[in-house]
Structure 1
């Protein structure tokens, strides 16, 4: 099919899937897979077979870059121990245990390929979990899942690529792989972070000299994840972790007091791309799924599998993944509670078994797993990659099963969870808004007193109107002068200028609150977004 027609149809299907999701009570990824499968069947009969390397390069860098961009840094630091344990230790345990189990269960899949399949099944998808929970998860758990998803996306994909390389070369050593993992991981983080920091410095230098417009910068940022990925891969390091590091560094650069139009444009484009890319990945799986099923059932190496056997294998893998996650999470929280209790910091905590069960069913697999498994090479040394179709089928089945488990389990177990941090979050937001508004009022009052000798009536009128809007949100005072038109123009210009400058003061106050840790990164982003739109409306 012509590439332009394919792009148009996939983009349209992503939009339609979102509309259908508002009507059909199914998780959006499952709907997108179903829509893709329908498009692959007659009478439409769409067929697409992407080059795995192009697929990896096109989808993985921007998805991971945006993951790093939006992760709350305060929560990432606060829950760093748990995130590191879940995204490093749990992933490695999953790769080893599930890898050996897959090879034992399905001998037609080589050991290295089994490790690759286990590695690509290890990343979780926080977006699907949050969508299923509809914003009702406790904030600390939602942030922990976001941080874990971002990091285990990277560690799982790095492990996956190393295992795929082992299949291609025909040699595999767990000890050498561990050493290689550390080297390529640290190298990727360094390259991505350095490149992103350099781009930020160049942007600041150009901003100070008015040498660029927002559109130019946004195009540069769109290319940044691909540049970070390519440079790291060319250097023999992890392009995956390079993209993550670039996103994390760039998110801090983006929060600096720069042009409002740049932030709004940048944020809107990345939110649109994230939604579109995630949707396209699931649609592409659906498009390939019917033919994959046909090939798997027809021939899977030395033996063939019927549908019941394949589904049974997928269920067994899903149960094993749940069991490993449950055991690891329970052990971590049990040890953590004992340590905190010994330090006298126990406090009020949720039931351990309930939290562990909720965290286990929240381990939903998603777009990164799909993007990774679809990037498996078609051939190895001229021969078909061993078990490729079977790997894709099992991955897709596990993703669907995990979505079903999450869609049923998360709402059920949340009924027994006492959530009291949402009101606290709203109170913190309210305090931050009040502090920012009070800072703007104080600055306007000071400005009015400093300009009391320069057309005092006009200055005090403008200041009073702005202060009144901040305090009471009432209409501006009516003009009662003969030259109303000219004064109205002057008042409008001056009022707009003062409002913009007052918003800048609010931003500075919010940055000060963040620096003093009175608010977290996510609150800062929410409040800065509100001020950005307010300033954009004025201009």
Structure 2
């Protein structure tokens, strides 16, 4: 099958499985996609795709991590920085050493450096799989933010640890001072590259759109989609972490977006484009993982014959050890930071043993683990085969499946036993932000001296009537927090005199214009709330999306109304 046909087939299957998952809610979408990929690749005549780890890392990982960095609530991310770093960095180091020695002790034929490489491969978590499993189960918001922040950063730390473990295997030597120095350079350099590219793109975009407005929205969105690839490539070319560069570019771009409240078309296109990219790429990742299973798992199990259960036992032991070390680290190393975050108001849910257990089973492994395992070289520097490479890939893939299945089974049971939370703080924040936006809109409903002097008394009376109507509507919204989009005015009134019909049409035009002014005032007020850190990025995105859709609808109706009333835009 040609490459183009393969890509189209994978994208189509990703979309179809996404639809199927809506009907089979008991099975998480990643498991459905992995199972389907394995099913169509298992027969001898099935679909077989050569997996290129470098190409995979370049095509799939940067846009997804960029989108995660762009979407994650920055207020919570920085407020919970300590537990996130403890998981993303401290837990990776703990896992590499603890699990590495365990693997070497349990399977002596795997040399210690290779055991460290395997431990590094399985250390990154996959937030995509976690969110797919816990989507409707009620994972506490702040805990989910911690898991998302962990997965943003531990991909880089895990892959850096893998790089040094592989280097130690190839050369037979390892300098810990060189490891620490290189890690700091790769991490800080990657963050710096991403931040510079993100801010540079945002500055150029702002310069262009100040002159052109929203007419170049499509081109700006296309350049934004290419930005994570540029950050990743530049980072890798200069020897720093391309993954962290993509993450930092997403975070920097999101901060710049806080000053772009008036670009409605670009914002709507950006949301739609990234939703499509994330859905397509996430589906393709798990399907590709499933397509590799027959070659990675089927062959070793067949060769093992009656001793296949030993290999399965190794997978179970390594995966259980991985989860146990995660539980120990969360209980002993992170629990105190979570408790302090709760007491200081940064985390609504109280840390508990049950919540620690849920966070443990949320440590699901995914595509980055597979890509890291397959990136291990085939040969040593002296031309000999890399020791236990096949076993490393088999055990890493088995760990992915084990943690996915365990998370799918255990998380629903644990999350149902968590105490029912009260009203999340973000709900109250959203309500207060909506109240602030209503007050900002009402402040626009004033009659200026210029209006009185430059228009006829009839027009002034009509505007006062419209302002009274809108003010009452906003007062009702302050009481009920309704969306207030209903307009009862009709353009059609064929039984009335032509001058009355024209007056109604002109009044309707005026009302639509004032509604758009009010919507813009609401949106500016919501952005001001975000600048003051009274709401987070999720709440901002939710409210602004509603206002953008309302404004687009109002603009279309205003264009039609002006045409019907013969009004020239002012």
Q: What is the TM-score normalised by the length of structure 2?
A: 0.86
- Asked if the contact 1:138–1:422 (Cα under 8 Å) also holds between the matched residues in 2, the reply is no
Q: Distance in 2 between matches of 1:415 and 1:101?
A: 33
User: Partner residue of 1:408?
Assistant: 409
User: Partner residue of 2:263?
Assistant: 259
Q: Distance in 2 between matches of 1:515 and 1:348?
A: 22
Following superposition, the deviation at residue 294 of structure 1 comes to 4.1
The change in CA–CA distance for 1:158 and 1:305 in structure 2 (over 3 A counts) is farther
Instruction: Return the match for 2:146 from 144, 147, 153.
Output: 144
Matched, 1:501 2:517: yes
Matched, 1:32 2:33: yes
SS of 1:446's equivalent in the other structure is: coil
User: Partner residue of 2:231?
Assistant: 228
With 202-211 and 421-430 compared, the bigger mean Cα shift is at 421-430
- Asked if the contact 2:205–2:220 (Cα under 8 Å) also holds between the matched residues in 1, the reply is yes
User: Partner residue of 1:519?
Assistant: 535
Cα displacement string for residues 246-285 of structure 1 (whole angstroms, at most 9, x for unaligned residues): 1111112223324111111111111221122122111112
Cα displacement string for residues 395-425 of structure 1 (whole angstroms, at most 9, x for unaligned residues): 2221222122222222222233223244543
User: Partner residue of 2:158?
Assistant: 156
With 482-491 and 285-294 compared, the bigger mean Cα shift is at 482-491
User: Partner residue of 2:488?
Assistant: 476
Instruction: Return the match for 2:217 from 206, 214, 220.
Output: 214
User: Partner residue of 2:463?
Assistant: 459
User: Partner residue of 1:127?
Assistant: 128
- Asked if the contact 2:446–2:467 (Cα under 8 Å) also holds between the matched residues in 1, the reply is no
User: Partner residue of 2:289?
Assistant: 285
- Asked if the contact 1:154–1:240 (Cα under 8 Å) also holds between the matched residues in 2, the reply is yes
The change in CA–CA distance for 1:335 and 1:52 in structure 2 (over 3 A counts) is closer
- Asked if the contact 1:98–1:320 (Cα under 8 Å) also holds between the matched residues in 2, the reply is yes
With 128-137 and 247-256 compared, the bigger mean Cα shift is at 128-137
Following superposition, the deviation at residue 321 of structure 1 comes to 1.1
- Asked if the contact 2:268–2:548 (Cα under 8 Å) also holds between the matched residues in 1, the reply is yes
With 283-292 and 477-486 compared, the bigger mean Cα shift is at 477-486
With 395-404 and 343-352 compared, the bigger mean Cα shift is at 343-352
The change in CA–CA distance for 1:285 and 1:129 in structure 2 (over 3 A counts) is closer
User: Partner residue of 2:91?
Assistant: 90
Q: Distance in 2 between matches of 1:6 and 1:284?
A: 11
- Asked if the contact 2:83–2:337 (Cα under 8 Å) also holds between the matched residues in 1, the reply is no
SS of 1:365's equivalent in the other structure is: coil
Matched, 1:270 2:274: yes
- Asked if the contact 1:448–1:463 (Cα under 8 Å) also holds between the matched residues in 2, the reply is no
Q: Distance in 2 between matches of 1:186 and 1:111?
A: 29
With 122-131 and 447-456 compared, the bigger mean Cα shift is at 447-456
Cα displacement string for residues 42-94 of structure 1 (whole angstroms, at most 9, x for unaligned residues): 37611110322212211121121112111111111111111111111111111
Matched, 1:241 2:247: no
Q: Distance in 2 between matches of 1:471 and 1:349?
A: 34
- Asked if the contact 1:200–1:250 (Cα under 8 Å) also holds between the matched residues in 2, the reply is yes
Following superposition, the deviation at residue 462 of structure 1 comes to 3.8
The change in CA–CA distance for 1:107 and 1:490 in structure 2 (over 3 A counts) is farther
Q: Distance in 2 between matches of 1:338 and 1:6?
A: 49
SS of 2:522's equivalent in the other structure is: helix
With 224-233 and 374-383 compared, the bigger mean Cα shift is at 374-383
Following superposition, the deviation at residue 200 of structure 1 comes to 0.3
Following superposition, the deviation at residue 349 of structure 1 comes to 6.7
With 133-142 and 71-80 compared, the bigger mean Cα shift is at 133-142
User: Partner residue of 1:177?
Assistant: 179
Following superposition, the deviation at residue 201 of structure 1 comes to 0.4
Q: Distance in 1 between matches of 2:441 and 2:183?
A: 51
The change in CA–CA distance for 1:244 and 1:172 in structure 2 (over 3 A counts) is same
Gaps spanning 5+ residues in structure 1: where? none
- Asked if the contact 1:14–1:280 (Cα under 8 Å) also holds between the matched residues in 2, the reply is yes
Q: What does 1:430-449 correspond to in 2, within 5 Å? A: 430-443=431-444, 445-447=445-447
Following superposition, the deviation at residue 525 of structure 1 comes to 1.8
Cα displacement string for residues 108-132 of structure 1 (whole angstroms, at most 9, x for unaligned residues): 4443333232122112223322332
- Asked if the contact 2:128–2:282 (Cα under 8 Å) also holds between the matched residues in 1, the reply is no
User: Partner residue of 2:544?
Assistant: 528
Q: Distance in 1 between matches of 2:129 and 2:234?
A: 31
With 130-139 and 214-223 compared, the bigger mean Cα shift is at 130-139
- Asked if the contact 2:70–2:251 (Cα under 8 Å) also holds between the matched residues in 1, the reply is yes
With 514-523 and 329-338 compared, the bigger mean Cα shift is at 329-338
User: Partner residue of 1:113?
Assistant: 114
Q: Distance in 2 between matches of 1:79 and 1:229?
A: 26
Q: Distance in 2 between matches of 1:232 and 1:488?
A: 61
SS of 2:365's equivalent in the other structure is: coil
Following superposition, the deviation at residue 367 of structure 1 comes to 3.0
With 387-396 and 3-12 compared, the bigger mean Cα shift is at 387-396
Q: Distance in 2 between matches of 1:351 and 1:249?
A: 31
